[in-house]
C-alpha cells in the first residue's frame, strides 16, 4: 500500500475541489514579497503536532519533501520551548494561542486534583466540567469543557475585535481542540470512534457531520500494513519490551476494522483531521470574506505513535513520512484557493524514546521509574508509619497533594517524613514545595537558561498545583512497566520534553533561521501582530517574534 492516506479519500467524499471555490488560479502570478506594507493575511492556520519534538524535527528535516519541507523553508525556530516543567499535552496546548505559561492559563497538568469537588473522584481532567452530575475524570466519562482555561485565546481576541471573524478548531484530541480553540470558536471538534465529536449537547454542522461519517467509514475499514520507505530501513529493528515477548520498532501500522487506537496511531488520523479542517474552511468560506479567520488544527498521531512504539523505530519513520505528505496535500488545497494565508506549526511538548531502545543505542543509564514513587504507595507507607488517616496523598504525574482532612500538625509531620524520603530517592532530581514556588517569580530569561525551579514555576498555579512537585532525574521514564500500546512518554522538566520546533510560513515571506531559544508563548503575540491585532503585553508571558528579516518588522 502506498503512503497515501485518508485525506485523499475524504477530499473526494467531501468534494474538496479547488475549482469549486471560484478562487482557483490557472496561471500563477509572480510571488509578491511580504513586507511591512503587505496587508494582513486573510487566514491564519495554526497547527500543533502532538509530541513533535525538536529532536524529531532535526532527525527527519532532511527527509521532508511535502508540507514540512515547505514550512522548513520559512521562518524557522529550531529551538522553540514549551518552557514550563509539566510538559504534558493539555498545558502545552494551552500556551500556544494564549501567549501565557500554564501558571497563567491554569492548565497545570492533563489531570490535577481538586480535593474540594463534591464528587467521589477528586481528580479533574483539564478539559472537563467536573460539576456535571454523573461524570468522572476517566476517559469517555467526563463532560468536555473549556471552563478551566483562565485566559483568552487568539481566536477569542479576534472575535472581540471583529465578531465576523471565524474560528474553527479541529483536532485528534479534545484537549488540543479546546485549549487552542478557546471559548468563542464557531466550531470545535475532535476525533472519536464514531467519527467526530464535540461538546455534549452540541450538534455538528452539516459539513462536520459529512466529515464525521467519512472518518467513521475509514475507521471501520481494515488497513493492510504500509510499505516502509527506503530511508526508514535503518530504524527497522525489533526492541523487546516487557516480559511477554512483545517488541516494538518494526511495526507497519496494519490494523483491523474498527480499531480506533491503531487508527489514531497512524497518519490516517492526521489525514482525517486535515481533511475535515479543509472541508470546514471551504464550507464556511474562511479566508474569503473581509475579516481574517483562524483555522486551528491539532494533529495527534505523532503522540500516539511515540507512546505506543517510541520515537526511533519504523513506526515513527512511517508517521513522519505520512505527516509530511498529509500536510503537503493540505497546503496544496489551500494554495488552490488563492487565499493569502499564514501558517504556524509547533508542538505541545517534545518526547523521549523508550528506555529499552535507549539502552541499546548508547544510553545505558536510561531507566523506568521505581514503583515506590507512586503517590498511592508512598502515601500508604507514610500514613502507616505515622498513624495518619488514609488516603494521605493524591497525585497523577509530578504534582502531589496532601489530604485536606489533615490537621496542621499532621500535615507538618507528613511533609517532614515525605520530603527527605523523596529527596533521598536515587531517581529524584528535586522536590519543590508550594512555599518555594509561591516565593519564586516567573523567569523573564530565555528558556534555555532556566533553572529547575524556573521551569516548575511556569506550570505552577497556586489554586490547582500540588503541595509539592517532584522532578525525576533525566532519562527516567515515568512508566514503571512497558505495556502494549504504552512504552514511552514525555512530561519531564528536561529539554528533550521541552524543545519543539516553531515554524512560520506565508507565500512571499522570506525564510530565515533563528537558532536561539524562543518560546511557544511567543506564537500568539507574533500572529496577532501579523494580523494587526493589538495585544496587551502585560497580560501575556510571550513576545512578538519579528518574522521579517532585515530592518523591517512584523511586530507593531
Provide the 10 A C-beta neighbour count for residue 3: 15
Nearer to Zn ion, 43 or 126 (CB): 126
Nearer to Zn ion, 190 or 468 (CB): 190
Contacts of 416 (CB under 8 A, 6+ apart): none
User: At its nearest, how many Å lie between Zn ion and the CB of residue 142?
Assistant: 18
Cα–Cα distance, 184 to 152 (Å, whole number): 9
Cα–Cα distance, 324 to 506 (Å, whole number): 17
Cα–Cα distance, 348 to 88 (Å, whole number): 7
**Residues 285-324, interacting with Zn ion (CB under 5 A):** 303
Max Cα separation, the chain? Answer: 80
The closest residue (CB) to Zn ion is 89
Kindly state the cell numbers that stand for 184. Answer: 468563542
Alpha-helical runs (H) found in 424-482: 434-438, 452-458
- Looking at 182-190, 337-345, 346-354, 537-545, which segment touches Zn ion (CB under 5 A)? 346-354
Computed from CA positions of residues 23, 554, 345, 525, in that sequence, does the dihedral angle turn out positive or negative? negative
**Residues 372-431, interacting with Zn ion (CB under 5 A):** none
User: At its nearest, how many Å lie between Zn ion and the CB of residue 188?
Assistant: 18
Nearer to Zn ion, 50 or 186 (CB): 50
Nearer to Zn ion, 166 or 492 (CB): 492
Sketch the per residue contact string, 80 through 109, with Zn ion: x for CB under 5 A, - otherwise: ---------x--------------------
User: At its nearest, how many Å lie between Zn ion and the CB of residue 333?
Assistant: 26
How big is the site for Zn ion, counted in residues (CB under 5 A)? 4
Contact (Cβ atoms closer than 8 angstroms) between residue 544 and residue 526: yes
* Neighbour-count burial of 290, counting CB atoms closer than 10 A to its CB (0-12 exposed, 13-18 middle, 19+ buried): exposed
User: At its nearest, how many Å lie between Zn ion and the CB of residue 51?
Assistant: 5
Does the active-site annotation cover 89?
yes
**Residues 130-169, interacting with Zn ion (CB under 5 A):** none
The helix (run of H) or strand (run of E) holding residue 261 is: helix 260-264
User: At its nearest, how many Å lie between Zn ion and the CB of residue 108?
Assistant: 15
Q: Phi/psi class of residue 242: alpha, beta or left (left: φ > 0; alpha: ψ in -120 to 50)?
A: left
The closest of 72, 56, 46, 82 to 519, measured between CA atoms, is: 82
Nearer to Zn ion, 123 or 173 (CB): 173
Nearer to Zn ion, 50 or 417 (CB): 50
Q: Which of 5, 50, 264, 501 binds Zn ion (CB under 5 A)?
A: 50
Q: Which of 156, 324, 348, 497 binds Zn ion (CB under 5 A)?
A: 348
User: At its nearest, how many Å lie between Zn ion and the CB of residue 50?
Assistant: 4
| Residue 270 binds Zn ion, judged by CB under 5 A | no
Active-site residue identified among 9, 21, 87, 89: 89
The closest of 549, 548, 528 to 537, measured between CA atoms, is: 528
Catalytic residues: 89
Residues of this chain that interact with Zn ion (CB under 5 A) are 50, 89, 303, 348
Amino acid at each position: 500500500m502506498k503512503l497515501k492516506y485518508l485525506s485523499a479519500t475524504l477530499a473526494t467524499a467531501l468534494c474538496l475541489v479547488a475549482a469549486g471555490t471560484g478562487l482557483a488560479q490557472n496561471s500563477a502570478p509572480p510571488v509578491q514579497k511580504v513586507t511591512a506594507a503587505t496587508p494582513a493575511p486573510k487566514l491564519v492556520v495554526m497547527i500543533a503536532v502532538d509530541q513533535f519534538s525538536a529532536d524529531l524535527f532535526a532527525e527527519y528535516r532532511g527527509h521532508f519533501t511535502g508540507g514540512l519541507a515547505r514550512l522548513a523553508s520559512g521562518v524557522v525556530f529550531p529551538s522553540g520551548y514549551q518552557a514550563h516543567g509539566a510538559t504534558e499535552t493539555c498545558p502545552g496546548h494551552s500556551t500556544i494561542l494564549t501567549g501565557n505559561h500554564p501558571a497563567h492559563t491554569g492548565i497545570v497538568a492533563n489531570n490535577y486534583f481538586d480535593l474540594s469537588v463534591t464528587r467521589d473522584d477528586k481528580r479533574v481532567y483539564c478539559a472537563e466540567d467536573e460539576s456535571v452530575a454523573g461524570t468522572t475524570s476517566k476517559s469517555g466519562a467526563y463532560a468536555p469543557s473549556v471552563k478551566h482555561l483562565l485566559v483568552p485565546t487568539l481566536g477569542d481576541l479576534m472575535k472581540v475585535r471583529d465578531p465576523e471573524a471565524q474560528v474553527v478548531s479541529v483536532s485528534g484530541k479534545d484537549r488540543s481542540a479546546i485549549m487552542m480553540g478557546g471559548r468563542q470558536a464557531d466550531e470545535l471538534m475532535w476525533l472519536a470512534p464514531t467519527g467526530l465529536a464535540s461538546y455534549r449537547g452540541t450538534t455538528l454542522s452539516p459539513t462536520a457531520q459529512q466529515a464525521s461519517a467519512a472518518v467513521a467509514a475509514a475507521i471501520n475499514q481494515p488497513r493492510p500494513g504500509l510499505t516502509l520507505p527506503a530511508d526508514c530501513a535503518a530504524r527497522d529493528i525489533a526492541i523487546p519490551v516487557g516480559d511477554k515477548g512483545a517488541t516494538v520498532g518494526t511495526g507497519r501500522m496494519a490494523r483491523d476494522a474498527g480499531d480506533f487506537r491503531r487508527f489514531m496511531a497512524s497518519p490516517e488520523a492526521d489525514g482525517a483531521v486535515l481533511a475535515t479542517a479543509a472541508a470546514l474552511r471551504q464550507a464556511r468560506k474562511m479566508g474569503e470574506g473581509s475579516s481574517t479567520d483562524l483555522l486551528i488544527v491539532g494533529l495527534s498521531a505523532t503522540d500516539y505513535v511515540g507512546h505506543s512504539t517510541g520515537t526511533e523505530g519504523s513506526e515513527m519513520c512511517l508517521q513522519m513520512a505520512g505527516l509530511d505528505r498529509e500536510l503537503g496535500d493540505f497546503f496544496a488545497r489551500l494554495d488552490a484557493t488563492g487565499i493569502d494565508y499564514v501558517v504556524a506549526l509547533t508542538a505541545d511538548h517534545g518526547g523521549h524514546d523508550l528506555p529499552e531502545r535507549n539502552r541499546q543505542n548508547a544510553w545505558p543509564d536510561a531507566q523506568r521509574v521505581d514503583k515506590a514513587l507512586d503517590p498511592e504507595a508512598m502515601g500508604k507507607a507514610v500514613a502507616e508509619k505515622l498513624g495518619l488517616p488514609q488516603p494521605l496523598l493524591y497525585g497523577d504525574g509530578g504534582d502531589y497533594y496532601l489530604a485536606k482532612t489533615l490537621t496542621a500538625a499532621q500535615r507538618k509531620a507528613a511533609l517532614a517524613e515525605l520530603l527527605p524520603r523523596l529527596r533521598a530517592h536515587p531517581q529524584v532530581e528535586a522536590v519543590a514545595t508550594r512555599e518555594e514556588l509561591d516565593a519564586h517569580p516567573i523567569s523573564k530569561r530565555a528558556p534555555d537558561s532556566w533553572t529547575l525551579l524556573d521551569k516548575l514555576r511556569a506550570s505552577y498555579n497556586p489554586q490547582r498545583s500540588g503541595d509539592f512537585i517532584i522532578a525525576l532525574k533525566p532519562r527516567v521514564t515515568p512508566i514503571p512497566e512497558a505495556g502494549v500500546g504504552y512504552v514511552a512518554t514525555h512530561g519531564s522538566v528536561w529539554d528533550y520534553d521541552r524543545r519543539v520546533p516553531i515554524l512560520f510560513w506565508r507565500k512571499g515571506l522570506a525564510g530565515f533561521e533563528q537558532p536561539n531559544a524562543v518560546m511557544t508563548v511567543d506564537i500568539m503575540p507574533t500572529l496577532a501582530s501579523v494580523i494587526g491585532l493589538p495585544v496587551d503585553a502585560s497580560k501575556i508571558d510571550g513576545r512578538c517574534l519579528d518574522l521579517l528579516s532585515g530592518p523591517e518588522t512584523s511586530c507593531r
